[in-house]
Amino acid sequence: MSTTTMTVVEAARTTLQDEMRRDSDIWVLGEDVRHGGVFGQYKGLVDEFGPERIVDTPIAEATIVGAAVGAALVGTRPVVEMRFSDFALSAMDEIVNQAAKIRYMFGGQGKVPVVIRMPSGLRGNSAAQHSQSLEAWFAHVPGLVVTAPATPADAMGLLLTALRGEDPVIHLEAKELWQISGEVSDDGPSVPFGVGRMVRRGADLTIVTWGTALHEAIRAAESLGKGGVSVEIIDLRTLWPWDRGLVLESVSRTRRIVVVHESVRDVGLGAEIAATVAEELHETLTAPVRRVASPRIPVGYSPSLENAYRIRAPKIIETVSSMLGIEAAGPFATSPASAVSAQY
């Protein structure tokens, strides 16, 4: 099977382009998409598909999502660009009360196959209204699928599944991961919803993570490995439905779990995973379930403040070490986004 190396943004753009060629019912609406989108996700697409399918909208998020819902109900597949996930808060009625509820309220008469793309998380001192990771909000709502690819292959595979599916999908695209590179299969396999990825096998402890934090978890595991600690890592990839089977199988072997996510810890998605493991595997666990996640603070502008929110490898190493009753390895270099991208 041949592969190509590409970045996340290239993988996402290529996938959308291929699917739009295959299916004339797919179209894009959002702010500045003809210009290519804030991050180049749509670069050049208007040249191929024209302004009828790559539609620039007014800055009116509620109506953008509302219109997409209506367009989906009559048989098209709108892809909504939200620009920043924070701006989706202006469309919460349309996402929560309309997109997520219509199929149910109308007794299955209408499906809403809308893909709502939300660039998400930290990126270079964007402060409190352009940095949030709101996966827990969306995962809480019956009717929504929530995806969070962390690699180019998953950016391709999950978008492909979303574009061929029947559900409204909240597609969280980590802004700090746009430019990381990785291998992508040339036959563009889809990644089914609800199937996590075993990133690395290990015997001592399981880390469950997603999005940007995956890359810090990998760094932590590599460092811990040098000290003889064997860490297993699962990238959930889909946050709803999440892969309970994979997580429970892993933890039943390693008997320890840390959930790592770069979003607010309190009442976050990690709590759901922790609770599930505690309910199902209480007798198996040899250590309490732990979470490494962001504190419950708005994201500050200054680098020193923003870093207070960031999830980094040293914190993961410290937590894992304490669970295993070993001393943490020495100081660990902090990881700017460029260091993350160097791994792929």
Partner 1 sequence: MDMEQLLLERTNRRVVARDPRSTERFLDLYRLMWRIRAFEIAAEENAAAGHIRGMIHSAVGQEAVAVGVCRNLLQHDLITSTHRNHHHALAKGVDPVAMMAELFGRDIGLCKGKGGSMHIADFNVGMIGANGVVAASIAIAAGAAQALRMKGSDSITAAFFGDGGMNRGQCLEALNYAASYRLPVLLVCEDNGWAATTRTSSVSAGPGTTARAQALGVEACSVDGNDIEAVDQVARELIGEIRHGAGPRLLHCRTYRLRGHTCADLAAYRDRSEVEARWKDDPIERCRSLLKELAVLPGRIEAIQVEEDLLISQAVAIALAASWPDVNEAFLDIQSAGALA
Asked if 103 interacts with partner 1 (CB under 8 A), we say yes
Asked if 334 interacts with partner 1 (CB under 8 A), we say no
The answer to whether 206 and 181 have CB atoms below 8 angstroms apart is: no
Buried b (16+ CB within 10 A) or exposed e, 236-246: bbbbbebbeeb
Q: Which of 35, 130, 140, 215 is catalytic?
A: 130
Between 93 and 222, CB nearer to partner 1: 93
Q: Which of 1, 2, 47, 52 binds partner 1 (CB under 8 A)?
A: 52
Nearest-angstrom CA–CA distance, 10 and 16: 10
Alpha helix (H) residue ranges in 23-60:
45-49
Asked if 60 interacts with partner 1 (CB under 8 A), we say yes
Asked if 79 interacts with partner 1 (CB under 8 A), we say no
Q: Nearest distance from residue 108's CB to partner 1, in Å?
A: 4
Q: Which range in 54-62, 117-125, 279-287, 323-331 contacts partner 1 by CB under 8 A?
A: 54-62
Asked if 71 interacts with partner 1 (CB under 8 A), we say yes
User: Where would I find the beta strands (DSSP E) of the chain?
Assistant: 3-7, 26-30, 54-56, 77-81, 115-120, 145-147, 169-174, 181-185, 197-200, 205-209, 231-235, 238-240, 257-264, 290-294
User: What distance lies between CA 344 and its chain's CA centroid?
Assistant: 17
Q: Which of 34, 36, 40, 76 binds partner 1 (CB under 8 A)?
A: 76
Q: Which range in 60-68, 119-127, 207-215, 326-334 contacts partner 1 by CB under 8 A?
A: 60-68
**Closest C-alpha among 36, 28, 300 to residue 171:** 28
Asked if 272 interacts with partner 1 (CB under 8 A), we say no
Asked if 144 interacts with partner 1 (CB under 8 A), we say yes
Nearest-angstrom CA–CA distance, 182 and 343: 9
Q: What angle do CA 128, 131, 135 make, to 5 degrees?
A: 115
Asked if 27 interacts with partner 1 (CB under 8 A), we say yes
Q: Which of 5, 23, 104, 302 binds partner 1 (CB under 8 A)?
A: 104
Nearest-angstrom CA–CA distance, 168 and 114: 5
Q: Which range in 95-103, 118-126, 174-182, 303-311 contacts partner 1 by CB under 8 A?
A: 95-103
Q: Which of 36, 66, 188, 300 binds partner 1 (CB under 8 A)?
A: 66
CA distances from 336 to 1, 196, 225, 265 (A): 33, 26, 22, 21
Between 105 and 333, CB nearer to partner 1: 105
Q: Which range in 130-138, 140-148, 245-253, 299-307 contacts partner 1 by CB under 8 A?
A: 140-148
Encoded tokens for 284: 């198996």
Q: Which of 131, 223, 238, 294 binds partner 1 (CB under 8 A)?
A: 238
Encoded tokens for 199: 């990133």
- 35 included as an active-site residue: no
Q: Which range in 176-184, 238-246, 317-325, 332-340 contacts partner 1 by CB under 8 A?
A: 238-246
Asked if 78 interacts with partner 1 (CB under 8 A), we say yes
Nearest-angstrom CA–CA distance, 235 and 209: 5
Name the residue with tokens 């919460």: 92
Residues near partner 1 (CB under 8 A), total: 50
**Closest C-alpha among 295, 1, 330, 304 to residue 125:** 304
Nearest-angstrom CA–CA distance, 233 and 205: 9
Asked if 165 interacts with partner 1 (CB under 8 A), we say yes
Catalytic residue set: 130
Where do contacts with partner 1 occur on this chain (CB under 8 A)? 25, 27, 52-53, 55, 57-58, 60, 62-63, 65-76, 78, 93-94, 97-98, 102-111, 142-145, 165-168, 193-194, 238, 240-241
